Structures are given as C-alpha cells and as structure tokens.
Structure 1
C-alpha cells in the first residue's frame, strides 16, 4: 500500500515538472521565457533610441518584438519620420527584421 502511494506521488511530481517545462518552451505563436525576455530587451532598446532621436516622436510610435522581429505601429507626421523610425529599429543590436506599419497622417 505504501509503495502505491509513493508511486502515485512520484507520478504527480513528474507530471507537474513536465507541465512546468512545457510552459517554458516556445510554440509557433508563443515565445519561451528566454525569448520573451530577449524580446522585451529589444523593445526597450528600440524605444529608447526613438526617444533620443529628434526626428521621431516616440510617443506616437508603438514598438513590439516577437522573436527578434520588431513591429512599429502608430502614426507619424511625415515619411521622413517613418523611414527614420525603421532605420533606428534596424540598427538596434539583436533585431533580425523590422515590420514598419507606421501610418503617415
């Protein structure tokens, strides 16, 4: 009887650990914990560079990163600001690609 209880507890622990490991792994639509942290760091770096730049108005631009691909969205005043925002994002270390969905208003 004690063996059966031990086996049941052991099985429960293995299942819980397996679930925890699975929660940390990535899927095609979801980043792993490490990827999420890397994406957050890239987003922060891009946003900081946009704030420093006199051409871009960072408050108008949303930045999101998924697997090292940066997406810029929002509204900008002219084509120069749109192109400059993309250039800034491309120059940030770790950025693999940029999706520029900014709209000139």
Structure 2
C-alpha cells in the first residue's frame, strides 16, 4: 500500500512538470500572422513584395537610374527618394500599384532642385 502511494505521488509530480513544460514550450512558439488579402490577390510577406516592386521599377527604362527606396509594411509600399519630374513620380506610382500584393502606395518621392 505504501509503495502504491509513493508511485501515485511520483506520477503526479511528473505530470505536473510535464504540463508546465508543455505550457512553457507552446508559449515560445512563434505565431505568424497571415497576410489578409482579398480573393485573387497574392498573400506575400513584406520582403518579397519589396523585392518585386524594386524589380518592377528597375525593369522600367525611365525609372531604372533613379535613387528610389522601397519600404513595405503589411502590403503598404512606401516609395521615397528624388526624381527629376512629376511624370517620373506618377510613373513610379503606377508601376508600384501594378505589382501583385501591393495593397496601397505611400508617396514620399520629391523633385530634385534644379
């Protein structure tokens, strides 16, 4: 009888440690938040979206040589830098809006002083 109580107490202690370890480990798992997209759009992470926008800007011959920086956060693309004309700003915005996964575009492009 005494041995049965000892075994039961030991089992409870092991179960308590196992439960607390399980809670601790599950709390350490990273929780990724999936991108919220409308049907038909490509769900992507921000780094991949930024790379696609940069690639699209470089593919355009009128924008290739301009120092345009691209930053993304949750599908919002921010363009910053200096360009030579208003036409280049509008072209950069249009190219960026055409990239799949770009939810919206924030314009921080400025005209160079002449």
TM normalised by structure 2 equals: 0.71
Unaligned runs of 5+ in 2: 1-9, 36-43
Is structure 2 residue 104 aligned with structure 1 residue 76? no
Q: Calculate the aligned-residue CA RMSD, in Å.
A: 2.2
Structure number, greater radius of gyration: 2
1:88 to 75, 95, 106: 95
| More helix per residue | 1
Give the 4+ runs in structure 1 shifted more than 4 A.
none
Q: How does 1:19-98 map to 2 (within 5 A)?
A: 19-20=28-29, 23-25=30-32, 32=33, 34-35=34-35, 38-57=45-64, 60-98=67-105
Deviations along 1:51-103, one digit per CA (max 9) or x if unpaired, are: 01011136511111111111101111221111111100001112111001111
What is the aligned residue count?
Answer: 96
Q: Counterpart of 2:45 in 1: which secondary structure?
A: helix
Does structure 2 conserve the Cα–Cα contact (< 8 Å) formed by 1:61 and 1:75?
A: yes
TM-score by length of 1: 0.76
Contact 1:42 1:68 in 2 (8 A): yes
Match of 1:13 among 22, 30, 48: 22
Inter-partner Cα distance in structure 2 for 1:50 and 1:6: 59
Helix, strand or coil at the partner of 2:18: helix
